[in-house]
Structure 1
Amino acid sequence: MPPLLYNEAGRWRSVGFELEFSGLTIEQAGKALEKALGGELQQESVAKSVLHVEELGTFNIEIDWNYLKVKAAEEAEGQQEPSQWLDLLKQSAAILVPVEIVCPPIPLDRLESLSPMIASLRESGAVGTDDSMIAAYGLHINAEIPRLDATTLFAFLRAFSLLQWWLVDEHKVAFSRKLSPYIDLYPESYLNTLFSCSGPSMDQLMSDYLAHNASRNRALDMLPLFSEIDDGRVSQAVDDDKIQGRPAFHYRLPDCRIEQPELSLQNAWNCWLIVEQLAEKSAAMEMLGEKFLSMERPLLGVSRRDWTELIDQWISDQLLA
């Protein structure tokens, strides 16, 4: 469990997960999910099904291809006639485009309810990141922020930025995903700016972030959170209609190696918990931030290997991992 269990309203914080994989059709994935969690499965279109689970919420099972989702929705709503073209698109998507399961926000004290999901999908034939050299399938974590204020945002941004290189190694991120543009790390110029700050305002946090990270393709994507605070400002900086405001961190770094028996949501979640734990240690972040700045080399920046070794030793000394 993270150090901060409750949100500003005094309720359990919630966490959502997104899984990308192939090997199953929408229908097969929906049935595997229904077998694991129960609930009522409904097909909304050829590109999307939903599973309604009492006390947990609605799970979306969809093909991660916006064009097909739009066309399928139009057909389902009667805006266009049923066509073989949609069937062809669906068949092509099964080969080229991953299936995505988007879980609803689950309270921290109910996360164990999701445990059967991975095994059921695996047993049904789901395959993930390791199935292909070009597959860049991820397991995303959407962790609700405990407090929506500048102090909390600054703490989490600093904690993740100090850990980002170490986290890539700890997750054993696949080569295909490292090469992909989807999980770019924060640039060193942003780390220098962040570690030089002291108690920045929300305005400064947003300005600095958008100046260096005006893209959804970050290992820790803060755009949904900043959109929750000021959607107009984010929209002006980033022209991307996929950005939707929500009071949660969008952590995109973990692979979805769903075909491997050792994969579990807990493994990915445990890595994120290191960020949560460090975010509560202001003095440690101050010390580590100063250390990072002191390791700057002209033209070369900070040695990634040296920094990762330093962080690994610090985590071991603190008994965080």
Structure 2
Amino acid sequence: MDQNVTETALALDAFPPLPGADGDERKDGRRTGIEIEFGDLDDEPAAAILRDCLGGDLSHPKAGQWRLEDSRIGGLDLYLDTRLRPEATSEGAELAVDIARRVVPLEIVTEPLARSRLPLVERMMDALSDAGASGSRDGLLYGFGLHLNVELADPENGTDMPRTALAFALLEPWLRARDPLDVSRRVLPFTRIFPGAFVDALAEMGGDADLGHLLDAVDAHISDRNHGLDLLPAYAHLAPDRFARRQAEAGAVKARPTYHYRMPETRFGTPGWSLGYEWRRWILAERVAADPDCLSRLCALRGDFENVPLRPPHQDWQDRMTEALGPLAQLAPEGGPGAPQ
């Protein structure tokens, strides 16, 4: 067998398939956009790395912003991650960007990608790391994120959304205990854990809740996007009229049929860490959502510990969660990247 074919197959093994709307795994059907924040590498050499890894045509439309077209993963953007980024290229704008480079991260944003393209993103990330790009653990206040924008299994009606939101909400304290976030990520407001009242409301509804019940719970308990799983873009897509009544968020959320999974941090240089590692932790939530028996076990376990604080998670609760998950727990190894699976 051709060595390149073998290497591609092995790389793809790190990215288990996403379930479809009917719960069956589909080889390449659902797409995922990737957002990667990093520091300590200037935008021009970073842009050159993207072109060298992925091919395509590179352009520099504005100060602090680059665009790669027709690459092996389609189009992607690289820019300084700041709302103060200039809207034009000029001598003054370039000076402002030069100052901003010292204090704000760069961000790469891809278009929605088929699963078969994800190993190429991982190789690009390895090249950035080799060139000196830093992650969240390289600076006290870096807090750089890696976001996955995973397409809903049912982008028209969101029938998968209540179960997936429930699965993630039940798993979230356990996931954070298995592999704690760096302090630089925890002190920033972007990835707060779901409120306990929200999780309790979802657990009480169980796996048979419909989208309306989920949105009722979101309206009652979720006030902004700053959680490990941001449900508001999908809410705005599926129920635009209802979402428009949420005045505080209506102007700040881009409606799209995706789970905006924003809990992961960028960890360039950490042994064992990769895009595939974070992907598998998300896949755990999807597989729990697709398994009614497992979802029921986790709901019941939440009830067993109703009066026990789970922040930090109680050790007995962690152990019982691991037991309830069975082999699925291997998708999120205890101890984080590099731990035995």
TM-score exceeds 0.5: yes
- Please name the residue that 1:15 is paired with: 32
> Equivalences for 1:1-321 in 2 at 5 Å?
1-2=16-17, 4-5=19-20, 12-54=29-71, 56-68=73-85, 72-73=86-87, 75-76=88-89, 82-84=90-92, 86-148=93-155, 149-198=157-206, 199-237=208-246, 239-240=248-249, 241-260=251-270, 262-297=272-307, 300=309, 304-305=313-314, 306-318=316-328, 320-321=330-331
Q: CA deviation at 1:5?
A: 4.9
The AA in structure 2 aligned to 1:43 is H
CA distance in 2, matches of 1:159, 1:135: 29
Contact 2:163 2:209 in 1 (8 A): no
The AA in structure 1 aligned to 2:319 is E
CA distance in 1, matches of 2:289, 2:70: 33
SS of residue in 1 equivalent to 2:190? coil
Q: TM-score, normalised by structure 2?
A: 0.83
From the superposition, tell whether residues 52 and 136 of structure 1 become closer, same or farther in structure 2 (CA, over 3 Å): same
SS of residue in 1 equivalent to 2:272? coil
Identity of counterpart residues, as a percentage?
25
CA distance in 1, matches of 2:33, 2:260: 9
The AA in structure 1 aligned to 2:192 is D
- C-alpha RMSD of matched pairs (Å): 2.4
CA distance in 2, matches of 1:99, 1:254: 16
**Structure 1 unaligned spans of 5+:** 77-81
1:12-58 CA deviation, whole Å, 9 max, x = no partner?
11111111011112212111111111111111101211111345221
- Please name the residue that 1:79 is paired with: none
CA distance in 1, matches of 2:138, 2:286: 31
Contact 2:284 2:328 in 1 (8 A): no
CA distance in 2, matches of 1:89, 1:232: 40
- Please name the residue that 2:9 is paired with: none
CA distance in 1, matches of 2:131, 2:312: 44
**Structure 2 unaligned spans of 5+:** 1-15, 332-341
Contact 1:19 1:256 in 2 (8 A): yes
CA distance in 1, matches of 2:40, 2:293: 47
Q: TM-score, normalised by structure 1?
A: 0.88
Contact 1:5 1:108 in 2 (8 A): no
The alignment of Structure 1 onto Structure 2 pairs a total of residues equal to 309
The AA in structure 1 aligned to 2:111 is P
Q: CA deviation at 1:185?
A: 1.0
Contact 1:138 1:254 in 2 (8 A): yes
